[in-house]
Chains A and B, each alone.
Chain A
Amino acid sequence: MYVAVKGGETAINNAHRLLADRRRGNRAVPSLTLDQITEQLALGVDRVMSEGSLYDRRLAALAIKQARGDLIEAIFLVRAYRTTLPRFGHSEPLDTEAMLVQRRISACYKDLPGGQLLGPTFDYTHRLLDDELDGDPQVEQGGQRVESHESIARVPDILDREGLVEEDYGSDEVAEPGDINQTPMSFPLDRSMRLQALARGDEGFLLALGYSTQRGYARSHPFAGEIRIGEVDVEVFMPELGFAVPIGRVQVTECQMVNQFKGSAKAPPQFTRGYGLVFGQSERKAMAMSLCDRALRAEELGEDIVAPAQDQEFVVSHCDNVQATGFVEHLKLPHYVDFQAELVLVRRMRAEHEDRADVASAEVREAAE
């Protein structure tokens, strides 16, 4: 129960003033620019874009600055801003095969068309802190290598040639995909709606669940079939023009997880797949997403549902960190009246408990006498 209580206004105003002051910090230190954040804290910006479910680097950078680097708070700010804008429509589905690739690796094939392209990765670094970055060292440009353009085949297509992997669900557009922003969630959700929820789900939560599947809670023997990061064109169909208009490019990370599958009455043994697609350069998130996507297909594939990662109501209802933080953090709002009621209740229960104890000890005494 919530009761309006007055009296906090001055305190709240002063608290927000203090917040602005602390956010700015030592005035002798230059203020951060949004360009600095988008350029030099790019992966934090990408996380805010993907979990804020809004592709706009500058807005994400602004949110990070305003939130003092608290990324979940920044994601909250972006989600709130999103609700103030009208929706003009939807894009044509992104064609990730036509991606301008910045990184592409496969853990399944050593030699594959397009090759292993490491890109700007943390992999193989020694995770030793670099003192030089304490200053502002001159950094050389990335090296270049001139070679003929080779098309970069999708790993599922390579497996598909032998029929060893399940096909994607038909590419025919049977219906408009559901949208969790516009329809109340009711379970079970179809895979496209689950993917939407996972795409904006909390990286930490999905990472932990993905990890749980590796440790045996819904084991699915995954291989990173392919991870690719790069830019894809976005096109939007404009009815007034009668064709799809290119409106720019976005960077996305895609993960094709390939998993063992023993087959069923209907399907022969073959590899199944989990899919991850995330805004920006977010490899860990895309991998975690694909592990969760695969685990959530348990029912469809006739697997026993024995672990949290396979329970779509559990996963989808708890993966949104804006919802989660809202409910957890609401606990700090005034619950004075609730708590008074609880106090009265506990006092009464204690009084009753003491009464019962008195009666019991009296009975014991009587019995003894």
Chain B
Amino acid sequence: MVDDRMTAMRKDRMAVLARGSTARLHELWRAVGLDPAYRMLRGPEFGLVMLRGRVGGTGHAFNLGEASVTRASVRLEDGSIGHAMALGRDIAKAKLSAVIDALCSSDDVAARIEMAVIEPIRAELNEADETMRRQTAATRVDFFTMARGED
């Protein structure tokens, strides 16, 4: 249970880091004031991920086309390991995201980072999504039937 919850939180954090802008991430990160020493285990490097769809939307998987991604893995001095992968080509973001992932092996640090970095970015992303939903909703067709004037 605890593991599931930890995995869910980690996934959620990774999702926010992957979608957040590099500039905003760095800005919030600087305010946290953490600067741990780390060693690169892998990357940071550019590569491709084959995106898959499903036939008809729910059937067998098929290969739709590739996307560029950047990935990085780091090890901190205390031995904790962090991974990051995100769409696009952004070395700095991948490195920092991996460091954050490694730091969050400690619950205390994770809580601090969640509050200072992840939550603000998540809120901004959610707000952008909500704006998009509302703008799309404004283009909803409200059908009405013309009165025929028979009575």
Contacts and interface: CB of A to CB of B under 8 A. Distances in A.
A242 B63 CA distance: 22
A140 to B, nearest CB: 12
A175 to B, nearest CB: 9
Contact of B86 (A53, A179, A248): A248
A275 to B, nearest CB: 5
A275 B134 contact: no
Given A59-B68, A245-B11, A177 B61 contact: yes
Interface in B33-83: 45-69, 71, 73, 83
Contacts of A23: none
B136 A103 contact: yes
B85 A245 contact: yes
A195 B51 contact: no
Nearest to B42: A240
B18 interface: yes
A100 interface: yes
B85 A100 contact: no
Contacts of B57: 96-97, 154, 156, 168, 254, 256, 275
Interface string B6-36: 0100010011001100000000000000000
B87 interface: yes
Interface stretch (B106-114, B116-124, B137-145): B137-145
Given A58-B88, A144-B131, A247-B69, A195 B53 contact: yes
Nearest to A179: B63
A199 B140 contact: no
A206 B37 CA distance: 54
Contacts of A119: 136, 139
Interface in A12-68: 49-50, 53-56, 58-59
B63 to A, nearest CB: 5
A174 interface: yes
A171 B58 contact: yes
Interface string A196-233: 10011000000000000000000000000000000001
A90 B11 contact: no
Given A177-B61, A245-B85, A88 B53 contact: no
Contacts of A88: 47-49, 69, 71, 85
B51 to A, nearest CB: 5
A116 interface: yes
Contacts of B143: 110-111
Contacts of A173: 60-61
A64 B114 CA distance: 39
Contacts, number: 225
Contacts of A248: 18-19, 86-88
A142 interface: yes
A117 interface: yes
A241 interface: yes
A236 B47 contact: no
Contacts of B62: 177, 191-193, 195-196
Nearest to B8: A243
Contacts of B47: 85-88
A308 interface: no
A229 to B, nearest CB: 10
B13 to A, nearest CB: 10
Nearest to B18: A248
Contact of A156 (B15, B56, B63, B139): B56
Interface string A68-105: 00000000000000100111111111101100111100
A94 B58 contact: no
Which of A97, A144, A254: most chain B CB closer than 10 A? A144
Contacts of A90: 49-52, 63
Given A147-B140, A169-B56, A191-B60, 5 more contacts: A121-B139, A195-B62, A238-B85, A256-B56, A275-B56
15 contacts: A56-B67, A56-B89, A86-B45, A88-B49, A91-B52, A100-B129, A142-B138, A144-B131, A144-B135, A145-B138, A168-B58, A179-B50, A234-B67, A240-B83, A273-B56
